[in-house]
Structure 1
Amino acid sequence: MKKLPFSVTFFLLFAIALLPIFSDLFHPLHPLHPLQLVKNEGNTLTERIDTPFKFKRIEVEKGSFADYIRSYPLKPAVNPLFLFNGEKKQNQDAHCAIFALPIQNESQTDSGSIIALYAEYMYKMGMDEKITFHLTNGENLKWTDWQKNAEYGRNFRSSLAGNLKKWTKYEKKAGKTERLQSFQNYLKKVLANISILSMQTYETATTTFAALQIGDILWDLGKPGHLCLVADICVNPETSEKAVLFAQGFSPAQEFHIIKNPKRINDPWYHEEDFAFPVETPEYVFPNESWKHAKYLDN
């Protein structure tokens, strides 16, 4: 059998050696592959946004707040982002996904959207005793107290209507629809009377990037000040590098949304190497490293 020329043999061996590298390049999640990480289909974060090449989402407990955010319904990808008044936001290039989180009122800006998400989660999970928020005046407004007062007022009025001459005890628990309406009224009251400062003073604790959890916050209390929620975390198991997705509301009040990473094409994840402060997001620059842990679900 005739031997192949040395140059041909060398080329074949060289090509075989490069096969793993080229196979990686054709992987759909490789950074040089033309496929974007953000898809047009999918109703949740895990369905809509893929992780970067070789990264995997961290494991979270089913039913946890992290699981709740990952499975929270998203608006269709073609939808524009709206302000509280029904008008389209002028900048439609900063977001890559929009949560189907209702805007309660014009007070639901950055901190308000985060509080609304936590409050909604606790309400749906039956964590009534944990639903409590400090207002700007320091008052601790508890959902359980609000609901008791609402039921008392309803029952008292019903008793008077049934017996104008003599008040008799009348008790009736709120039904599912009435209770939900009462909760929405409670939440509107909270959102109209909280601020970044009250949130920082009473309901957060300092944390670090190394200890970061889904639901923690990138924070700036400067002027004008801004917050971004850590909506998801993934890790490269080979290098232990971490990457996060950020979600934000903004002022004027607008739909809660996942923001893009202006440093990366087709990749909204903020990688560990991107956190050389100041950190630039599409509409805000965070001047200093300031991570906060929201204490709403702590024991």
Structure 2
Amino acid sequence: MKKLILGLIVIIGLLVFLNFSRGGKVVKNTVASYVAPTSLIHKEGRTIKTRVKIPDGYTRVLSEEGTFAHYIQNYQLKEADAQVINYDGSPYIFQHGHVGVLEVPVPSNGLQQCADALIRLRSEFLWETNRKNEIGFNFTSGHYCSWSKYAEGYRPKINGNKVTFSKTATANASKENFYKYLNLVYTYAGTYSLSQELKKVHTLSEVMIGDLLIYPGFPGHVMMVGDIIENDSGERRYVFFQGNTPAQSVHIIKNVSDTEINPWYDLKGKTSLETPIYRFSSFEMVRFK
């Protein structure tokens, strides 16, 4: 009985924390995360594609090698029991909402939050595929900040919503400097700027692995499509992963609203979406250029 009471106290405490951790948004299904079945999880799988099994009647949407979709679908995961870790090295208070943790380092500066983690994945893909000149993002002000100009030594001078760039640093195209550039982007970009900058995906049939499900705001939230399956009728299901605030491990989320297909999500007819720790009151789909 004492253990049961203690367990209830812990759950209530988590609910209070989670309800206030997103600006007062009510998050349903948090308790359900503890008991959500994970029969579609292959614990030995060490990529997104091999960690999550396919339900009967579906086939996986395959991605072409060399594409961003292929890069994401085959992204490396930590061991199955890996915890979500905060930027300061402490375990996140809620460890029952995920089924996989991506091998994405979390800087100790706390800057790499939800949108930032996905910006990093896109940037590292472009870096690794020798498309460095395509790395660039808009600040919330709308001003474009490219890696190429940063590497040449250009730095922004920010005065309210006015941003100007001038050459104030020595040219440096190293990987270490690249991460300094990303820290700058993390500081001045976010869900709002991504929503304004990126291409809209208007229909579910167009959604690709690597697309973003986003609620732009201050704060907003965003997740990335990590995998897609489809049945003979053309109905699709999606796996999502996310970073978070505070900055923490990027992780594949459970689906506690539809435990029969957990962690796959059905977006058909949806205008809002429940996840283990966040409720999207509305959302849109966007794609990196």
Question: Separation in 2 of the partners of 1:102 and 1:243?
Answer: 28
Name the counterpart of 1:186.
Answer: 181
TM-superposed CA distance for 1:277, in Å, is 3.6
SS of alignment partner, residue 213 of structure 2: strand
1:295 aligns with 2:282: no
Aligned-pair CA distance for 1:123: 0.6
Matches within 5 A, 1:130-279: 130-149=134-153, 153-154=169-170, 179-222=174-217, 224-236=219-231, 238-262=232-256, 263-265=258-260, 267-272=262-267, 275-279=269-273
1:113 aligns with 2:108: no
Amino acid in structure 1 at the alignment position of 2:209 = I
Q: Distance in 1 between matches of 2:196 and 2:284?
A: 14
Match of 1:51 in 2: 54
TM-score for both structures, normalised by structure 1:
0.73
Supply the distance in 1 between the matched residues of 2:187 and 2:53 (Cα, whole angstroms). Answer: 36
**Structure 1 residues 198 and 271 mapped into 2: Cα distance closer, same or farther (>3 Å)?**
closer
CA-CA distance at 1:276 after TM superposition? 3.4
Distance 2:286 2:128 in 1: 22
Deviation at 1:121, TM superposition (A): 0.5
SS class of match (1:229): strand
> Matches of 1:147 and 1:215 in 2, distance apart?
26
Tell me the TM-score normalised to structure 2 length.
0.76
Q: Deviations over 1:250-285 (max 9, x none)?
A: 111111111000021572001355x53432111111
Q: 1:35 to 1:100 in 2, by over 3 A?
A: closer
CA distance in 2, matches of 1:100, 1:226: 21
Change (3 A) 1:266 1:276: closer
Aligned counterpart in structure 2 of residue 83 of structure 1, from 67, 79, 86 = 86
CA distance in 1, matches of 2:272, 2:144: 34
> d(CA) in 2 for partners of 1:117 and 1:246?
14
Measure how far apart 1:85 and its partner are.
Answer: 1.0
* CA displacement at 1:66 relative to structure 2: 0.7
Matched, 1:96 2:96: no
Separation (CA, whole Å) in 2 of partners of 1:35 and 1:81:
17
Larger Rg: 1
Q: Is the 8 A contact 2:195 2:214 kept in 1?
A: no
Higher strand share: 2
1:134/1:277 Cα in 2 relative to 1: closer, same or farther (>3 Å)? closer
Contact 1:205 1:295 in 2 (8 A): no
Deviations 1:17-51 (A, max 9, x none): xxxxxxxxxxxxxxxxx982112212101221111
Q: Could you tell me whether the CA contact under 8 Å between 1:241 and 1:272 is conserved in 2?
A: no
Maintained 8 Å contact 2:153/2:168: yes
State the shift of 1:287 in Å.
2.0
Q: Greater CA deviation, 135-144 or 91-100? A: 135-144
RMSD after superposition: 2.3
Deviation, 1:291, is 2.5
The answer to whether 1:73 aligns with 2:66 is no
Contact 2:214 2:286 in 1 (8 A): no
Return the alpha-carbon distance in structure 1 between the equivalents of residues 219 and 168 of structure 2: 41
* Matched position secondary structure for 1:271: coil
Which runs of 5 or more residues in structure 1 are unaligned? 1-33, 156-173
Give the unaligned 5+ runs of structure 2. Answer: 1-36, 155-166
1:283 aligns with 2:277: yes
Q: Distance in 2 between matches of 1:52 and 1:271?
A: 13
